[in-house]
Structure 1
Amino acid sequence: MIRECLSAITNVNITDVNWVQASLPVAEGGLGIRSIEKLALPAFLASAYSVTRLATEITDFDPEVYCGTAEAEWQRVTEADLPAVEARKFQKMWDEPVIQTSVKMLSEKAQSDISSQARLLGVSTKDNGAWLDALPAASLGNLLNDSALRIAVGLRLGTPIVTPHRCICSEWVDARGYHGLSCKKSRGRKSRHSSLNATLKRAFASATIETELEPLGISRTNGKRPDGVTLVPWERGKMLTWDVTCVCTMALSHIAATSTQAGAAAAQAERKKIGKYQNITQDYLFRAVGVETLGPLGPGASQLITEVGKMIRQETGEVRATEYLRQRFSIEVQRGNAASILGTAPATANLDQMFSVIRPPVSAVC
């Protein structure tokens, strides 16, 4: 029933393998919607051992006898040794091996598909699942619309999200829609970049640090400007400049690296940005902010979010400021992914053209 409800709410076709992933915790690449069937054994065993002292005082309760059948089934499922006696009252000790069994199964299924390997690694990072932990409130700007939610869930689980079609760049887009995440002609590409910079600007403002986007007077030798600069010194009297880059985890140029190491594409993109802006580092502090379409952040992006989050906490007293900023960054990536994938479709007719089909144009009266 839970699986059917999830499929209906997200408008995603969830297969048996997809459901195994969806029922994993967010930190393991799932949606955090745990399977009752897989939670039953850990919950029962932990409950039984947690009341051992009280139960033995009332009856002749022996947990090893009472839980024998359940323990044998748990060992069959996990192929693991029983937890230490003193740790058996903690559900996590029983649940973790069950989770790892599912993770191992998904990894084995992905061995023949390099894109699935990259996807599983990418979605298993803390940064990728941050959007799932955010409070879905429209007043906070955290609410994904139906289309963005469907695509975010589909990309995470590796399910079909579009009908195969020809992109506006003439390349073929398969059912998983990965081409749109890296297509330079997709209409959603610029919106993702702009929204990430706008998020950083608002974060700096929350820390009472004024910034300017696309600043004049700070350019590389080719005339291109960084995405933003602080108007007050950041460190040792130097202003901070940054430049955001969002790279596709599944791009052919990156997938060999991202299928073996999570965040490899973001880290590589940051190194390239640092090299391009080498000529301004004498006068400014430069931070490359690299993020992948499947969520992993580069070292520079993670460091900047942590630093700005700490400053917001000092200014506002909000202890979860860093986590909230990480969530908002993750949400903007998901919105950008949806816009990029949908942006591969040919432009539709405008309203006037559509209405003319159902309402003939009024002819002039002679």
Structure 2
Amino acid sequence: MTTVHHWTGLEARALRCALRLSVRAFAQHLGVGIRTVSKWEKLLSATEPRQVTQAILDTALARSEAAVHLRFETFLSEAGRPGLGSGRRSIPGGPRAWEYETWTDDLDRAIVALSRQNFASADNLLNRWLARFPPAELDDRGRYLFARSTALMGDLQRDQGAVLGPLSAQHSYAVARSLFAQLGIPRRIAQLDLSLAVVAEMSGELETAARRYENLAVDDRLSRRDRARARLWVGTALSKDGAHGHAARVMLAATREFEDLAEPDDWSVAHQKLALAHRGVGDLPQALHFIGIARSTGEADSPMQRVRWETAHGHILLSDPATRDDGLHVLDDAAKVAALFGLRHQLRSIEGIRMTAGGALRPRQR
């Protein structure tokens, strides 16, 4: 059983990482303030907890499972501090092995937070590493994690509607792509090319986006699933540009590909996009048929996807004078969810649908 003769911020941090807790959760676990733990994290061996807190840390370590003790000893060893405390050494600028493990865990947590549109949590998890290590201080493993973190930051910015500019998805994707190019990882480079094509589409460069999607749909660097997504997005760009009939045919091919791949979420998204393409050509019964499939078969845990389904549904209903009021009600509900989760791009889309509808916003005469 590991014991610590004298705790400093370094040992306290090693215990937090061994327990796999965030700063906030570790503070709650010990019953101390978040600022106290943050001070330990910043100053490491240059700060020492008070005697009463030393006892709390002793108890927390003693009550931990054997796996936690093993991780704790490993972290201290890699930091140049044996578990019983003797010699100290200076800490180099780059991350140590145990920090790589924590960084990887934080990326997994950030992905989950993004899928639920918990942007504040995702931003905190990503920035704790992006703000900590300049890429020049990192080895290849560190640069890989930095590139992944930057790509996920791009996803966060894109979902919040920050598409162009210095603090935007476009900038983050470009930085991540450059790092993956330095590391020589073709698949990741192609995935970032796909993300940059999405940015082009969202910023209104439909012809450019469609051309990029077409090239990526046959790019062997991508997985079969990603190539099918590129094909689906070719249809999206065509539909936004008014070529709804052609778009529907392209989307249908992608839908069949997702069915062959047994990808139910992508299959559902494809039906949502097919619904909008059929709305574009004026075939409202087919549009309602496809959006019904999307809403009944897709994963409902993501607020983003729920807003997309309901926006598409409201758009279709708004296209028929007989269901105009229902469409407005559905769009209102979608806008409330979008506002709640900070989905600014989706809010702009909903407002655009309202403006395009024009007369549909005027009350019907009774």
TM class by shorter-chain length? under 0.3
Structure number having the greater helix percentage = 2
**TM-score, structure 2 as length reference:** 0.23
Instruction: Give the structure-1-normalised TM-score.
Output: 0.23
Relative contact order higher in (CA < 8 Å, ≥ 6 apart): 1
The answer to which structure has the higher strand fraction is 1
